[in-house]
Amino acid sequence: MEFKMILDLKIIIFIVLLVILTSGCTTIVPQNYEGLIETLGKYTKTVKAGLTFKIPFFQRVKKVSMALQPLEISRYSIITKDNAEISTSLTLNYQVTNSFKYFYNNTDSETSMVQLVRGHLRDIIGRMDLNDALGSTSAINNELSKAIGDLTDIYGISVIRINVDELLPSKQIQAAMDKQLTADREKTATIAKAEGEAENIRLTTKANNDALIATAKAKAEAIKTEADAEAYRINKLQETLSKASEGYFRNQSIVAFTKLSAGNNNMIVMDKENIDKIGDIPAIKKIWDQDKN
């Protein structure tokens, strides 16, 4: 009988617990969540993940995720310092660091965070020219991260990572940039062609000049060689004449007069001082012919 009473008591306790669990007296806060307990609509306390008891009809639990969450900010337009329109889109990762601030300090903390990011990005790019903005994505990311900093702390949010995915100029600006790029490439090609032609002319001119100089040097060398040979013959002639005896020149004089007397034109006029020099002429001619040979 006593055993039966104990068994009945356990059954009653189990039923009571089952009623409590199924009647809204408890709630389960998942992993990486925090629970905000409100009593009659007023915040009471924050509970961690696990089984949480509450007073039915008087209390309720708001569950806030504390895990890292990705967010994509859709494309929107920004005007640069030089009045060029570009569109941009971003992605970021944020994490709720204070569930109370996240839920109670703002009706929509996520939207407020997005507006804050957009505003600071407009300010950063608005101080840059188009070309600087398009080529400075990494620098923009760093500056935007610093600008956001702890500003989102008021919303109970921390931005862990932020990235500007793209910066695209408008179609009109893109078309103008394409034309400019084409013009620059054509200009570069024209300059390269002109420089090539100028180099070719320079090399051709240098080759021609080198050929002219080589020809002139060869001619000068030939003239010098010929002059040296002529000087050598003259020196040899003078040397030979200086060694000839008086008898040799007298003999040549007789031969010369003999030839003159044998010809039709056998008149020659000479002064008496040089009459004996007539023999030098055939002697010189003989030596000259020998040297030539």
pLDDT for 286 equals 53
Kindly state whether residues 151 and 216 are assigned to the same domain.
Answer: no
220-231: average pLDDT: 79
Q: Specify if 179 maps to a domain.
A: no
- Tokens 């390269």, residue? 192
Q: 287 and 219 in one domain?
A: no
- Higher pLDDT among residues 239 and 145, named by residue: 145
In a domain, 158, yes or no: yes
Residues 84 and 110 placed together within one structural domain of the fold? yes
Of 65, 82, 105, the one marking the end of a domain is: 65
**Assigned domain for 178 exists:** no
Candidate ranges 13-27, 156-170, 190-204, 229-243; pick with highest mean pLDDT:
156-170
User: What are the tens digits of pLDDT across the range 36-79?
Assistant: 999 998 999 999 998 888 888 888 999 999 999 999 988 888 88
| CA atoms of 20 and 4, how far apart (whole Å) | 24
Residue 175 in any domain: the answer is no
For residues 77 and 41, state if they share a domain. no
Residues 109 and 134 in one domain: yes
118/140 same-domain check: yes
Task: Specify whether 101 is located in the same domain as 134.
Answer: yes
pLDDT of 211: 81
For 116-149, the pLDDT digits (tens) are 899 899 999 889 888 888 888 888 888 888 888 7
Where is pLDDT greater, at 252 or 45? Answer: 45
Whether residue 280 contacts residue 248, with contact meaning beta carbons closer than 8 Å, is answered with no
Please report, as a single letter, which amino acid is at residue 36: L
Residue 34, pLDDT > 90, answer yes
pLDDT at 97 over 70: yes
What's the angle, vertex CA 81, arms to CA 78 and CA 83, rounded to 5? 65
pLDDT tier for residue 288 given thresholds of 50, 70 and 90: very low
- Domain boundaries, position 87: 69-169
Q: Is residue 83 part of a domain?
A: yes
Higher per-residue pLDDT: 107 or 243? 107
Q: Does residue 20 fall inside a structural domain?
A: yes
Q: Give the count of domains, the chain.
A: 4
Mark whether 165 and 96 lie in a shared domain: yes
Q: Are residues 122 and 89 in the same domain?
A: yes
Better pLDDT: 241 or 64: 64
The full DSSP string for 69-97 is: EEEEEEEEEEE-TTS-EEEEEEEEEEEES
Q: Where among 144, 169, 194 does a domain terminate? A: 169
Q: Write the pLDDT tens digit of every residue in 176-220.
A: 665 766 667 667 777 877 888 888 888 888 888 888 888 888 888
- Asked whether 223 and 247 are in contact (CB, 8 A), the reply is no
| 79 and 158 fall within a common domain | yes
What pLDDT is stored for residue 93 in this prediction?
Answer: 92
Q: State whether 109 and 190 are in the same domain.
A: no
Does 42 map to a domain?
yes
Which of 163, 26, 141, 24 is CA-nearest to residue 94? 163
Query: Quick one: CA dihedral 218, 224, 227, 229, positive or negative?
Result: negative
The CATH number covering residue 157 comes to 3.30.479.30
- Same domain for 77 and 157, yes or no, is yes
Long-range contacts, 126-130 (Cβ 8 Å, 24+)? 126/78, 126/79, 126/80, 126/81, 127/81, 128/80, 128/81, 129/80, 129/81, 129/82, 129/84, 130/80, 130/82, 130/84, 130/86, 130/169, 130/173
Last residue of a domain, one of 235, 252, 275: 235
Residue 107 lies in a domain: yes
Give burial (CB, 10 Å; 0-12/13-18/19+) of 231.
exposed
